[in-house]
Amino acid sequence: MSERETWATRAGFILAAVGSAVGLGNIWQFPFKTAQFGGATFLVVYLVAAFGIGLPAILAEFVIGRKSNLNTIGAFEKLGYRNWRFVGVLGLVTGFWILSYYSVVGGWVLRYVGGSLTGAYFGDSAAYFSSIAAGPDAIALHAVFMALVVGIVAFGIEDGIEKATKFMVPSILVILVALAAWAFTLPGSGPGYGYFLSPDLSQLRLTVATTDGFPFVSFGGPLAEIIPFAVSQAFFSLSLGMGAMITYASYIDGDESLFGDGATIVVFNSLIGILAGLVVIPLLFAQGVEPGSGGAGALFISVAGAFASIPFGRVVGVVFFGVVLVAALSSAISLLEVVVAYAIDNYAVSRPQVAVGLGAVIFLLGLPSAWDTAWLTWFDNLAYQLFLPLSVLGILVFVGWVFGRPALEELLRGTSFGHGVGATWLWTVRSVVFLAVVVTLVLGLVTLFG
Ligand code: PHE
Ligand code: NA
């Protein structure tokens, strides 16, 4: 067997992982979910979830990946726990599942880049969205998006993914900063900042009440609803539970600090979500659009509608949707890489062959979502509320209790931290993080089947 690929540089790994993390979840979902859950209050809870729960969890995936240098299924076997391969399988299936409809949304984005150029959505932006979101058009664009993803992955780790994301991630950052500055100049955007950035802390209050004489603790506001959502959003946003971070970390060849890498990724991922909010929310306020209204098509309908009525709207539209496209692509390649890595680690097949073959299968799986947005919503709900938390739970239990001590040593390798730091991490994984995931899973199941 030929030698397994590695990242050329540490920065290459970090940028690729940031590229995976930063995607539709940040630019499309995050601003809208923040608006839906009341603005800044959600932002605060989300940031706590990203750093308090997402960071320890991403480190758990890094440890599995770097220690094993294998794909997300083979990793468990290599570490000596053959029976835990099912956790890897769960992650791989989740990634496969998510990519199928992620690519359909990627197709919409492609369409909106073109639509901004020609002004196609400048009339009735809601009608335009429903005319392109489902049906033959959506299928064709889903195919084009998938083809782009396959094209990059076929070139491999160093020449494909690392080269592409090295250019993609900095451009996303620079352009979002420019767009946020532009949104600031729009008349009427002012109140958007208060809405997005100043939390109503009374919503985060704990109260003790009694029912039939039994005391119970409850939250003063909608926190019980926000927490599980913020936790799932943090996982999705950090590309956890889909084998992506395990796979990317498996190409690390060196003793760098996984703490440093993980913290950098969480910071950039949060920063780009906030920047996207600073573009989208003021833009909506400037247009007098109620943020948080609208479902899957919200970004496309209301943001595109705003571009229609703004000077230089076409240019700004191309730039904005161009950034969304780049972000979606750099995430989608990490999802395809999970399955490609598994195939080339195990079978005598070439990378380009596998990329094309699996890309075709994922395209087929995405057909229902491209045909009818109700299917897309169903795929998304199942991923979000079931597959994702279940898969993360598997990883946490494995790292926290089964693998345990060697995980801690792997995490400390390449750092100057003492044992206490590693022990604290392991303790956090076993307690706070574990509990948060269990609660999220239970509440997700209640929403799905209750
Ligand atoms: N993290 C990506 C986003 O925020 C989505 C994603 C999930 C990408 C899982 C890869 C793996 O859009
Ligand atoms: Na993200």
Tens digits of residue pLDDT in 273-287: 999 999 999 988 888
Could you tell me which of 429, 426, 427 has the C-alpha nearest to residue 393? Answer: 429
**Class of residue 112 by CB neighbours under 10 A (exposed 0-12, middle 13-18, buried 19+):** buried
Beta strands in 205-324 (DSSP E): 206-211, 214-219
The whole-number average pLDDT for the span 303-322 is: 88
Whether 383 is in the pocket of ligand 1, judged by its Cβ within 6 Å, is no
Whether 23 is in the pocket of ligand 1, judged by its Cβ within 6 Å, is yes
Query: In 3-state terms, what secondary structure has residue 4?
Result: coil
Whether 335 is in the pocket of ligand 1, judged by its Cβ within 6 Å, is yes
CA atoms within 13 A on the CB side of 440: 30
| Ligand 1 mutation pick, 18, 20, 108, max ligand atoms within 8 A of CB | 20
Q: What is the dihedral of CA 60, 61, 65, 68, to 10 degrees?
A: 50
pLDDT at residue 1 greater than cutoff 50? no
Q: Ligand 2 centre and the CA of 170: distance in Å?
A: 15
**H helix intervals, 244-291:** 244-249, 258-286
Identity at 308, one-letter amino acid code: A
Which ligand 1 atom is at minimum distance from the Cα of 331? 8
Q: Determine contact, residues 79/403, Cβ cutoff 8 Å.
A: yes
Identify the helix (H) or strand (E) that includes residue 114: helix 85-118
Q: Ligand 2 centre and the CA of 262: distance in Å?
A: 13
| Ligand 1 mutation pick, 100, 102, 246, max ligand atoms within 8 A of CB | 102
**Structure tokens, 120:** 């196609």
Q: How confident is the model at residue 212 (pLDDT cuts 50, 70, 90)?
A: low
Instruction: Quickly tell me which residue has 């630019």 as its tokens.
Output: 27
Q: How confident is the model at residue 83 (pLDDT cuts 50, 70, 90)?
A: very high
The whole-number average pLDDT for the span 231-249 is: 95
What pLDDT, on a 0 to 100 scale, did the predictor assign at position 205? 64
Q: How confident is the model at residue 449 (pLDDT cuts 50, 70, 90)?
A: confident
Q: List the single range of 9-23, 52-66, 103-117, 199-213 with lowest mean pLDDT.
A: 199-213
Whether 26 is in the pocket of ligand 1, judged by its Cβ within 6 Å, is yes
What pLDDT, on a 0 to 100 scale, did the predictor assign at position 287? 83
What pLDDT, on a 0 to 100 scale, did the predictor assign at position 297? 76
Ligand nearest to the CA of 50: 2
Q: List the single range of 154-158, 210-214, 297-301, 415-419 with lowest mean pLDDT.
A: 210-214
What pLDDT, on a 0 to 100 scale, did the predictor assign at position 2? 61
For the domain made up of 10-196+225-449, give the CATH fold.
Hydantoin permease (1.10.4160)
Which CA distances in Å does 368 have to 134, 226, 329, 355?
Answer: 9, 30, 21, 22
Instruction: Give nearest CA residue, ligand 1 atom 11.
Output: 239
Which ligand 1 atom is at minimum distance from the Cα of 338? 11
Whether 21 is in the pocket of ligand 1, judged by its Cβ within 6 Å, is yes
pLDDT at residue 200 greater than cutoff 80? no
Whether 134 is in the pocket of ligand 1, judged by its Cβ within 6 Å, is no
CA torsion sign for 432, 435, 440, 441 is positive
Q: Ligand 2 centre and the CA of 268: distance in Å?
A: 9
pLDDT at residue 219 greater than cutoff 90? no
| Ligand 1 mutation pick, 331, 340, 387, max ligand atoms within 8 A of CB | 331
**Structure tokens, 360:** 């075709």
The whole-number average pLDDT for the span 200-215 is: 65
Q: Ligand 1 centre and the CA of 419: distance in Å?
A: 32
The whole-number average pLDDT for the span 188-214 is: 75
The whole-number average pLDDT for the span 398-420 is: 94
Instruction: Give nearest CA residue, ligand 1 atom 6.
Output: 239
Which CA distances in Å does 8 have to 58, 171, 260, 343?
Answer: 21, 21, 18, 22
Q: Determine contact, residues 144/107, Cβ cutoff 8 Å.
A: yes
Q: How confident is the model at residue 209 (pLDDT cuts 50, 70, 90)?
A: low
Instruction: Quickly tell me which residue has 């835990």 as its tokens.
Output: 84
Q: Ligand 2 centre and the CA of 186: distance in Å?
A: 27
Query: In 3-state terms, what secondary structure has residue 173?
Result: helix
DSSP 405-430: HHHHHHHHTTS---HHHHHHHHHHII
Q: How confident is the model at residue 220 (pLDDT cuts 50, 70, 90)?
A: very low
Q: Ligand 1 centre and the CA of 330: distance in Å?
A: 9
Ligand nearest to the CA of 247: 1
Instruction: Give nearest CA residue, ligand 1 atom 9.
Output: 239
Ligand nearest to the CA of 387: 1
Identity at 354, one-letter amino acid code: V
pLDDT at residue 210 greater than cutoff 90? no
CA atoms within 13 A on the CB side of 233: 29
Whether 169 is in the pocket of ligand 1, judged by its Cβ within 6 Å, is no
What pLDDT, on a 0 to 100 scale, did the predictor assign at position 388? 92
The whole-number average pLDDT for the span 32-52 is: 87
Q: Ligand 1 centre and the CA of 409: distance in Å?
A: 28
Which residues pair with residue 208 across a beta bridge?
A: 217
Whether 236 is in the pocket of ligand 1, judged by its Cβ within 6 Å, is yes
Q: How far is 306 from 266, CA to CA, in rounded Å?
A: 30
Q: 55-68 vs 388-397: helix axis angle to the nearest 10?
A: 60
Average pLDDT, the chain: 90
The whole-number average pLDDT for the span 292-320 is: 82
What pLDDT, on a 0 to 100 scale, did the predictor assign at position 310? 82
The whole-number average pLDDT for the span 261-279 is: 96
Q: How confident is the model at residue 367 (pLDDT cuts 50, 70, 90)?
A: very high
Which CA distances in Å does 436 have to 44, 52, 140, 384, 440?
Answer: 16, 10, 40, 15, 6
Q: How confident is the model at residue 292 (pLDDT cuts 50, 70, 90)?
A: low
Identity at 110, one-letter amino acid code: L
DSSP 339-399: HHHHHHHHSS--HHHHHHHHHHHHHHHTHHHHH-HHHHHHHHHHIIIIIHHHHHHHHHHII
What pLDDT, on a 0 to 100 scale, did the predictor assign at position 305? 85
Q: Ligand 1 centre and the CA of 18: distance in Å?
A: 10
Ligand nearest to the CA of 328: 1
Q: Ligand 2 centre and the CA of 22: distance in Å?
A: 4
